Structure 1
Amino acid sequence: MAAEGSGLQRELGPGPKPDALCPEHGQGLGWFCGSERRPVCAACVGPGGRCRGHRVRRAKEHAEELRNKIVDQCERLQLQSAGITKYVAEVLSGKNQRAVSTASAAREVVIQRLSLVRSLCESEEQRLLEQVHGEEERTHQSILTQRAHWAEALQKLNTIRSSLVDMLTHLDDHQLIQKEQEIFERSGISSFSRDLGFLEQGKNI
């Protein structure tokens, strides 16, 4: 995972150079105030500054840490996409084949058993055949629904990852810091946790 993250960072490059200035002192915003969660200048953290005594660090270091978190989030989303793709390709395909085989075998059993008393049980034969066909259709529709669900989930993951990569590419350090909360709200994956937990259960069904 670390190697993939490094590759993504190399692909994106260092990003735009910051040019924002402190509105109060007119100096470059080279520091980040952890107490107020905003970029500040050296005068803000110096003697008499409003952030004197606050938890401060260099803005570049905080931005780098934030970039690393976004890279990690992108990697997790990519792994989840791969898991969904594998589930759809392997598990759902297997379910579909088993459903077809089961329905075919059930149909043969019904035909063989009722052929002995066809003259007396034509209506019963038709009812049972329709029941088998209905179950086959229900199973097939269920699989189609799951395919559509996972296709939508996969699209959402790809959209989130593309958005994060776009932010990494176009936002400078200060813009990235200012959008920190928005970034992680946008990339939250709690809505997928339940679905992804279902993947393991679905493999055994």
Structure 2
Amino acid sequence: MEEKGDAASGEVARCAEHGKKLMYFCRVEKQKVCSKCAITGSHRGHTVVAVEEALSELKESLTAKLVELQAESSEQTSRLEEIERNTTAAQEQAEILERQVQDDFAALRTFLDSEEKVLMELIAAEKQKTLEELRRLKAECLQRIAHLKLLIDPLDAALQTTNVNGLLKVLNTSSDRFRNPYETVNDPIVHFEAEKFCGPLQYKVWKKMFQIIQTVPEAYTFDHSTAHPYLQISANRRSVIPLCAPLPVVSMDARFDTALCVLGAEAFSTGKHYWEVTVNKKDKWDLGVAFNCISRHGDIVYRPSDGIWCLTLRDGCHYEACDDPDIRLKVQHKPCRIGIYVDYEGGVVSFFDAETMQMLHVFRAHFSHPLIPLYSPCKLEDGALGDQRLSIFKLNV
């Protein structure tokens, strides 16, 4: 069936087979048909509706499709804007980081150049002092050798004669005119005192370098008033060990009563901080930071949304960053010491293998309360081998 007629002129098209107006729409064949086509013709038995109804339905479908495409276009436009914002932010953050790295290394180079210059000046001064003294001793020694030669030559010549009177004369003259050279006291011969500059040079410079390094391992301590009764804090407050039985401690609001945790004694709400925790070969532990206002009662959930940024180890090999959802970490080498870095203004909490300084995970956040270190050596299990304590590393410089 074909249509004939000029739709553009407003005339209704007619069926090429029956000559009737195409007033209906076949939903099966997706085309306009006449009444005869629909009743007895090739479209008999098909679902047929009036053209106006079909037109309305088609417009509804197109409208729905248009809305869907417009929504997707709007989504992509928003995505593009976010990409552009992130591109700008990435460029700005990278430039800031590049400048910071350049400034940090420039400070180290300036310090090392200054230390090298001072040391080289000291060595040069010691060298000059030693050489001047040796030149003085050499000149004095040459003068004495020449003086001794004046004594030796007449004596040597006299030994060649057999005239007794001549020998006596030379001996009498020698004793009157010349003083015995061995009566002169010689100044000690100096040497270059290299030992002044020996020793662990790089170590000495490294220790002095801490004067310019802003972030070094801080010797934090545990707040024993927050420790769960099954946790024992060492006398120096830098080690915590799980126990089989509870300690007779006083119950207080600050103390954890369910979670086997203890907080640090030092909170901070500004600056950059770094500390290290020795975990040895423990099979499980929890380490991180938390808002100092977190509840100490009942079970707690390690989530940034709850004000806790934490890394955990279970079964000796399963490392997780506690997020929503948790993030399983791939750690090839089991660290014996964990480094924790916090940049409060920068909104960063990072965890490192403190021996290799390989980053394990980084959280990004916006901090609204003071932060405080959080630790858990986890429950002491029967048959647990090895040292079960957590210890805060103290760098001795």
Place the TM-score, normalised by the shorter chain, in its bin.
Answer: 0.3 to 0.5
TM-score of the aligned structures, taking structure 2 as reference length: 0.24
- More RCO (CA 8 Å, sep 6+): 1
> Max radius of gyration: which structure?
2
* Higher strand fraction (1 or 2): 2
* Higher helix fraction (1 or 2): 1
